[in-house]
Amino acid sequence: MLKRSLGTSGLEVSALGLGCMGMSHGLGPAGDHDEMVRVIRDAVDQGVTLFDTAEVYGPFTNEELVGAALAPVRDDVVIATKFGFDLDADGTQRGLSSRPEHVRAVADASLRRLGTDRIDLFYQHRVDPDVPIEEVAGAVRELVEAGKVRHLGLSEAGADTVRRAHAVHPVTALQSEYSLWWREPERSVLPTLEELGIGFVPFSPLGRGFLTGAIDATTSFADGDIRGTLPRFSAEAREANQGLVDLVGRLAETRDVTSAQVALAWLLAQKPWIVPIPGTTKSTRVAENVGAASVDLTDAEVRDLTDAAALIDVKGDRYPEQMQRFIDR
């Protein structure tokens, strides 16, 4: 697969990564461990080198899965994980915590679960309003100096927060949601990243599966599938947003590719330092997503898709109100 650099950091990864959350968390029951190991290793075989996990996924079990799957190729891949939630021993969330001592403790615990001696990319999962971002960046800088972490990342952080963190220690990548149906990062985040030389790693680049065309107003979600709690995935919102899916589908049919490949190719065409991390639990979907790196949309196709999507008023908030408070502006 083609490689991309995350900004000017020197961290080179595959043009598409693999989001591993859904293998253990958020999309219903966890997948079979051995099968998920096979999916991750199939991704490696197809050239994927960036793998995304977090302590909160599972909780804890996703890091163990990713570490076990990648152990044979550890030196050939980039493992990204995250800190920032205050978790009980059983994984119950008590809120946010990015206190420096907590960041250090999470790093040590993640290293043990991953079975590795360094974390390649360590994201603050959500901005903690009670801890200045300068202290957080300073704590990760100490971990970098100790050799436990290679690069600092932020997730769902606003432009001002990114600037403040970057002034203390270089931020290698920002991870936030970005796709044809969530384009808010274009307002201030992407220009800031470009100015500072920071890479961008979009999660949910397929709109949590909606842009693939596999979900419609009649779809039912399993117990434990977070989409069943999101306003944007109410039956009414799905029906109202179908026009965006149809738009992507028409171009996919014209190009004889899948809707997922069009949605990912559109993202890849935005900036050369954007590396989407679509998640899946199936090797067939890994192959499909990887194929998007070879779909070269013309400038006219990108422009027409961008303009047409902008005319569609997407309905439904990304998160319910109690989760919106974790989003930095």
Catalytic residue annotation: 57
Rounded alpha-carbon distances, angstroms, from residue 79 to 11, 120, 122: 12, 5, 9
Report residue 210: phi and psi, to 5°.
Answer: -65, -40
Quote the DSSP letter at residue 153: E
**Which candidate, 260, 222, 217, places its Cα nearest to that of 25?**
222
Helix intervals (H) in the chain = 33-45, 61-70, 100-114, 133-145, 159-168, 189-196, 235-240, 242-255, 259-270, 283-291, 299-310, 321-324
Rounded alpha-carbon distances, angstroms, from residue 32 to 28, 60, 147, 329: 12, 16, 33, 37
- CA separation for the pair 225, 32 (Å, rounded): 16
Question: What torsion, rounded to 10 degrees, do the Cα atoms 113, 117, 120, 125 define?
Answer: 40
**Which candidate, 273, 296, 318, places its Cα nearest to that of 179?**
318
Residue 225 three-state SS: strand
Q: Are 81 and 63 in contact (CB under 8 A)?
A: yes
**Which candidate, 157, 153, 159, places its Cα nearest to that of 188?**
159
- CA separation for the pair 48, 79 (Å, rounded): 11
CA within 13 Å, CB half, 97: 17
Other Cβ atoms closer than 10 A to 140:
29
For 156-180, give the DSSP string: S--HHHHHHHHHHS-EEEEEEE-BT
